[in-house]
Protein backbone atom coordinates (compact mmCIF):
# COMPACT_ATOMS: atom_id res chain seq x y z
CA UNK A 1 0.00 0.00 0.00
CA UNK A 2 1.40 3.42 -0.97
CA UNK A 3 2.09 6.05 1.66
CA UNK A 4 -0.65 8.25 0.18
CA UNK A 5 -3.28 5.52 0.41
CA UNK A 6 -2.21 4.53 3.91
CA UNK A 7 -2.51 8.14 5.13
CA UNK A 8 -5.98 8.43 3.60
CA UNK A 9 -7.01 5.13 5.16
CA UNK A 10 -5.99 6.43 8.58
CA UNK A 11 -7.71 9.78 7.96
CA UNK A 12 -10.99 8.26 6.81
CA UNK A 13 -11.02 5.10 8.91
CA UNK A 14 -12.22 3.25 5.81
CA UNK A 15 -10.71 0.87 3.23
CA UNK A 16 -8.96 2.78 0.41
CA UNK A 17 -7.41 1.42 -2.76
CA UNK A 18 -5.60 3.14 -5.65
CA UNK A 19 -7.69 3.94 -8.72
CA UNK A 20 -6.74 6.78 -11.07
CA UNK A 21 -4.18 9.58 -11.39
CA UNK A 22 -4.82 12.96 -12.99
CA UNK A 23 -2.54 15.88 -13.72
CA UNK A 24 -3.16 17.54 -10.35
CA UNK A 25 -5.10 15.00 -8.27
CA UNK A 26 -5.09 11.35 -7.28
CA UNK A 27 -8.48 9.58 -7.26
CA UNK A 28 -8.74 6.54 -4.99
CA UNK A 29 -11.68 4.24 -4.28
CA UNK A 30 -13.18 4.09 -0.80
CA UNK A 31 -15.61 1.52 0.60
CA UNK A 32 -18.19 3.21 2.82
CA UNK A 33 -21.18 1.76 4.59
CA UNK A 34 -23.41 3.44 1.99
CA UNK A 35 -21.53 2.19 -1.06
CA UNK A 36 -18.41 3.05 -3.06
CA UNK A 37 -16.96 6.54 -3.00
CA UNK A 38 -13.98 8.40 -4.44
CA UNK A 39 -11.44 10.36 -2.45
CA UNK A 40 -9.56 13.01 -4.43
CA UNK A 41 -6.30 14.31 -3.02
CA UNK A 42 -3.80 16.70 -4.61
CA UNK A 43 -0.42 15.49 -5.82
CA UNK A 44 1.06 18.56 -4.09
CA UNK A 45 -0.56 20.89 -1.57
CA UNK A 46 0.82 24.03 -3.25
CA UNK A 47 2.29 24.40 -6.73
CA UNK A 48 3.71 27.42 -8.54
CA UNK A 49 2.63 27.51 -12.19
CA UNK A 50 3.67 29.82 -15.02
CA UNK A 51 0.04 30.40 -16.06
CA UNK A 52 -1.83 30.85 -12.74
CA UNK A 53 0.84 31.67 -10.17
CA UNK A 54 0.73 29.74 -6.89
CA UNK A 55 -2.15 27.24 -6.65
CA UNK A 56 -3.22 26.15 -3.16
CA UNK A 57 -5.01 22.84 -3.69
CA UNK A 58 -6.47 22.83 -0.20
CA UNK A 59 -8.29 26.03 -1.17
CA UNK A 60 -9.29 24.43 -4.49
CA UNK A 61 -10.93 21.55 -2.59
CA UNK A 62 -12.90 23.96 -0.39
CA UNK A 63 -14.07 25.84 -3.49
CA UNK A 64 -15.00 22.56 -5.18
CA UNK A 65 -17.09 21.40 -2.23
CA UNK A 66 -18.95 24.72 -2.06
CA UNK A 67 -19.67 24.66 -5.81
CA UNK A 68 -20.93 21.06 -5.75
CA UNK A 69 -23.29 21.85 -2.87
CA UNK A 70 -24.68 24.87 -4.74
CA UNK A 71 -25.14 22.82 -7.90
CA UNK A 72 -26.89 20.01 -6.03
CA UNK A 73 -29.25 22.51 -4.37
CA UNK A 74 -30.11 23.85 -7.86
CA UNK A 75 -31.05 20.38 -9.10
CA UNK A 76 -27.93 19.81 -11.20
CA UNK A 77 -26.71 16.19 -11.05
CA UNK A 78 -23.33 16.07 -9.30
CA UNK A 79 -21.52 13.70 -6.93
CA UNK A 80 -22.50 14.11 -3.26
CA UNK A 81 -19.87 15.68 -1.01
CA UNK A 82 -19.38 13.16 1.81
CA UNK A 83 -16.53 14.94 3.56
CA UNK A 84 -13.44 17.06 3.05
CA UNK A 85 -10.29 18.17 4.82
CA UNK A 86 -7.89 21.02 4.21
CA UNK A 87 -4.46 20.12 5.51
CA UNK A 88 -1.66 17.72 4.71
CA UNK A 89 -3.05 15.73 3.08
CA UNK A 90 -6.05 17.71 1.83
CA UNK A 91 -8.85 15.59 0.40
CA UNK A 92 -12.48 15.56 -0.69
CA UNK A 93 -14.69 12.47 -0.43
CA UNK A 94 -17.36 12.15 -3.13
CA UNK A 95 -19.99 9.59 -4.03
CA UNK A 96 -18.98 7.40 -6.99
CA UNK A 97 -21.19 8.01 -10.03
CA UNK A 98 -21.61 4.91 -12.25
CA UNK A 99 -21.60 5.84 -15.93
CA UNK A 100 -20.83 4.55 -19.42
CA UNK A 101 -17.19 5.21 -20.29
CA UNK A 102 -16.79 7.08 -23.58
CA UNK A 103 -20.52 7.65 -24.11
CA UNK A 104 -21.61 10.47 -26.41
CA UNK A 105 -22.70 13.60 -24.57
CA UNK A 106 -26.33 14.66 -25.20
CA UNK A 107 -25.52 18.26 -26.07
CA UNK A 108 -29.02 19.72 -25.79
CA UNK A 109 -29.26 18.45 -22.22
CA UNK A 110 -25.75 19.73 -21.49
CA UNK A 111 -26.91 23.13 -22.72
CA UNK A 112 -29.91 23.01 -20.37
CA UNK A 113 -27.75 22.09 -17.39
CA UNK A 114 -25.20 24.77 -18.26
CA UNK A 115 -27.97 27.39 -18.28
CA UNK A 116 -29.16 26.10 -14.90
CA UNK A 117 -25.60 26.32 -13.61
CA UNK A 118 -25.31 29.92 -14.80
CA UNK A 119 -28.51 30.80 -12.95
CA UNK A 120 -26.61 30.17 -9.68
CA UNK A 121 -25.32 33.52 -8.43
CA UNK A 122 -22.76 33.21 -5.62
CA UNK A 123 -21.17 36.37 -4.18
CA UNK A 124 -18.42 37.87 -6.35
CA UNK A 125 -15.51 39.57 -4.63
CA UNK A 126 -13.54 41.47 -7.26
CA UNK A 127 -13.73 43.39 -10.50
CA UNK A 128 -14.35 41.00 -13.39
CA UNK A 129 -12.39 43.19 -15.80
CA UNK A 130 -9.36 43.29 -13.49
CA UNK A 131 -9.55 39.54 -12.84
CA UNK A 132 -9.65 38.56 -16.52
CA UNK A 133 -7.07 41.15 -17.54
CA UNK A 134 -4.59 39.89 -14.93
CA UNK A 135 -5.28 36.25 -15.77
CA UNK A 136 -4.80 36.82 -19.50
CA UNK A 137 -1.66 38.86 -18.90
CA UNK A 138 -0.08 35.98 -16.99
CA UNK A 139 -1.22 33.35 -19.49
CA UNK A 140 0.02 35.41 -22.43
CA UNK A 141 3.42 35.68 -20.77
CA UNK A 142 3.52 31.91 -20.14
CA UNK A 143 2.42 31.01 -23.70
CA UNK A 144 4.63 33.56 -25.46
CA UNK A 145 7.63 31.25 -25.24
CA UNK A 146 5.75 28.78 -27.47
CA UNK A 147 4.03 31.01 -30.07
CA UNK A 148 3.87 34.53 -31.48
CA UNK A 149 1.54 36.67 -29.38
CA UNK A 150 1.03 40.41 -28.86
CA UNK A 151 2.94 42.08 -26.05
CA UNK A 152 -0.29 43.18 -24.39
CA UNK A 153 -4.06 43.04 -24.87
CA UNK A 154 -4.89 45.21 -21.86
CA UNK A 155 -6.63 48.04 -23.71
CA UNK A 156 -8.71 45.72 -25.88
CA UNK A 157 -9.54 43.49 -22.91
CA UNK A 158 -10.77 46.44 -20.88
CA UNK A 159 -12.95 47.74 -23.74
CA UNK A 160 -14.58 44.34 -24.22
CA UNK A 161 -15.04 43.42 -20.56
CA UNK A 162 -16.22 46.60 -18.86
CA UNK A 163 -19.74 46.31 -20.37
CA UNK A 164 -19.91 42.75 -18.98
CA UNK A 165 -19.27 43.67 -15.33
CA UNK A 166 -22.98 43.53 -14.44
CA UNK A 167 -23.31 40.07 -15.99
CA UNK A 168 -20.25 38.51 -14.32
CA UNK A 169 -22.20 36.98 -11.43
CA UNK A 170 -22.77 33.38 -12.50
CA UNK A 171 -21.22 30.16 -11.23
CA UNK A 172 -19.04 28.79 -14.05
CA UNK A 173 -17.78 25.19 -14.22
CA UNK A 174 -14.94 26.07 -16.64
CA UNK A 175 -14.12 22.50 -17.70
CA UNK A 176 -17.27 21.16 -19.36
CA UNK A 177 -15.76 18.62 -21.73
CA UNK A 178 -16.79 15.00 -22.34
CA UNK A 179 -14.39 13.61 -19.70
CA UNK A 180 -16.25 15.62 -17.04
CA UNK A 181 -19.79 14.79 -18.15
CA UNK A 182 -20.97 11.39 -16.87
CA UNK A 183 -23.52 9.74 -19.17
CA UNK A 184 -25.44 6.54 -18.50
CA UNK A 185 -28.08 5.13 -20.82
CA UNK A 186 -27.98 8.31 -22.91
CA UNK A 187 -28.69 10.55 -19.90
CA UNK A 188 -26.35 12.94 -18.12
CA UNK A 189 -26.09 11.59 -14.59
CA UNK A 190 -23.42 13.95 -13.25
CA UNK A 191 -21.16 16.88 -14.00
CA UNK A 192 -17.84 16.27 -12.27
CA UNK A 193 -14.46 17.92 -11.58
CA UNK A 194 -15.42 21.49 -10.70
CA UNK A 195 -11.90 22.37 -9.53
CA UNK A 196 -11.67 25.16 -12.15
CA UNK A 197 -14.94 26.83 -11.16
CA UNK A 198 -15.14 30.61 -10.78
CA UNK A 199 -17.82 33.29 -10.49
CA UNK A 200 -17.99 35.34 -13.66
CA UNK A 201 -19.49 36.04 -17.07
CA UNK A 202 -21.43 33.08 -18.53
CA UNK A 203 -19.98 33.91 -21.94
CA UNK A 204 -16.55 32.90 -20.64
CA UNK A 205 -17.90 29.39 -20.09
CA UNK A 206 -19.31 29.39 -23.62
CA UNK A 207 -15.94 30.46 -24.98
CA UNK A 208 -14.31 27.48 -23.30
CA UNK A 209 -17.08 25.15 -24.48
CA UNK A 210 -16.50 26.44 -28.01
CA UNK A 211 -12.81 25.66 -27.57
CA UNK A 212 -13.77 22.09 -26.71
CA UNK A 213 -15.90 21.86 -29.87
CA UNK A 214 -19.24 21.53 -28.05
CA UNK A 215 -20.85 24.92 -28.74
CA UNK A 216 -23.15 23.46 -31.38
CA UNK A 217 -26.68 24.33 -32.48
CA UNK A 218 -27.88 21.41 -30.37
CA UNK A 219 -26.12 22.77 -27.27
CA UNK A 220 -27.50 26.27 -27.89
CA UNK A 221 -31.02 24.88 -28.37
CA UNK A 222 -30.80 23.71 -24.77
CA UNK A 223 -28.95 26.74 -23.43
CA UNK A 224 -30.70 29.48 -25.43
CA UNK A 225 -28.77 31.56 -27.93
CA UNK A 226 -26.90 34.33 -26.06
CA UNK A 227 -25.80 36.03 -29.33
CA UNK A 228 -22.47 37.33 -27.95
CA UNK A 229 -20.10 39.79 -29.60
CA UNK A 230 -17.79 37.50 -31.64
CA UNK A 231 -14.74 39.43 -30.41
CA UNK A 232 -15.76 38.80 -26.79
CA UNK A 233 -16.20 35.07 -27.43
CA UNK A 234 -12.76 35.02 -29.10
CA UNK A 235 -11.27 36.74 -26.05
CA UNK A 236 -12.79 34.19 -23.69
CA UNK A 237 -11.73 31.22 -25.83
CA UNK A 238 -8.23 32.71 -25.93
CA UNK A 239 -8.03 32.15 -22.16
CA UNK A 240 -8.49 28.41 -22.80
CA UNK A 241 -6.14 28.23 -25.79
CA UNK A 242 -3.36 29.93 -23.84
CA UNK A 243 -3.82 27.56 -20.92
CA UNK A 244 -3.76 24.43 -23.10
CA UNK A 245 -0.74 25.69 -25.06
CA UNK A 246 1.22 25.79 -21.81
CA UNK A 247 -0.04 22.74 -19.89
CA UNK A 248 0.34 20.45 -22.92
CA UNK A 249 4.09 20.98 -22.54
CA UNK A 250 4.67 21.85 -18.90
CA UNK A 251 2.27 19.43 -17.17
CA UNK A 252 1.78 16.59 -19.64
CA UNK A 253 3.23 15.67 -23.01
CA UNK A 254 0.75 16.10 -25.88
CA UNK A 255 2.58 17.53 -28.93
CA UNK A 256 -0.53 17.54 -31.15
CA UNK A 257 -2.65 19.39 -28.59
CA UNK A 258 0.22 21.83 -28.10
CA UNK A 259 0.53 22.58 -31.81
CA UNK A 260 -3.22 22.94 -32.27
CA UNK A 261 -3.69 25.23 -29.29
CA UNK A 262 -0.63 27.38 -30.02
CA UNK A 263 -2.00 27.98 -33.51
CA UNK A 264 -5.46 28.68 -32.12
CA UNK A 265 -4.09 31.09 -29.51
CA UNK A 266 -2.22 33.01 -32.22
CA UNK A 267 -5.36 33.18 -34.37
CA UNK A 268 -7.61 34.31 -31.50
CA UNK A 269 -5.18 36.94 -30.23
CA UNK A 270 -4.95 38.43 -33.73
CA UNK A 271 -8.73 38.43 -33.99
CA UNK A 272 -9.16 40.20 -30.65
CA UNK A 273 -6.61 42.84 -31.67
CA UNK A 274 -8.33 43.83 -34.91
CA UNK A 275 -9.11 47.52 -34.75
CA UNK A 276 -12.19 47.15 -36.97
CA UNK A 277 -13.91 45.13 -34.21
CA UNK A 278 -14.01 47.79 -31.53
CA UNK A 279 -17.26 47.73 -29.55
Which domains, from first to last, does the chain contain? Answer: 3-95 (3.30.200.20), 107-277 (3.90.1200.10)
pLDDT value at residue 123: 86
Rounded distance between C-alpha atoms, residue 87 and residue 7, angstroms: 12
Q: Is the pLDDT of residue 70 over 90?
A: yes
* pLDDT classification of 278: cutoffs 50, 70, 90: very low
**CA-based nearest residue to 76, from 63, 67, 65:** 67
Binned at pLDDT 50, 70 and 90, residue 120 comes out as: very high
pLDDT per position as a tens digit, 170-190: 999 999 999 999 999 999 999
- pTM of the predicted structure, to 2 decimals: 0.95
Amino acid sequence: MTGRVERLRRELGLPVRPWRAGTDFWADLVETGDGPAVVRSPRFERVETTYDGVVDFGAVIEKEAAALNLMAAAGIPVPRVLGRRRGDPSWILLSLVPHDEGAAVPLRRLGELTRKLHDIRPPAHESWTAFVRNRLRQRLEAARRYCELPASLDGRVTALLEPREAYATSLLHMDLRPANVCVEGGRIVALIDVANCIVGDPLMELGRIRGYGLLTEEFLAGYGNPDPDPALLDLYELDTALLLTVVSVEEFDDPQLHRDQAARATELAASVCRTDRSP
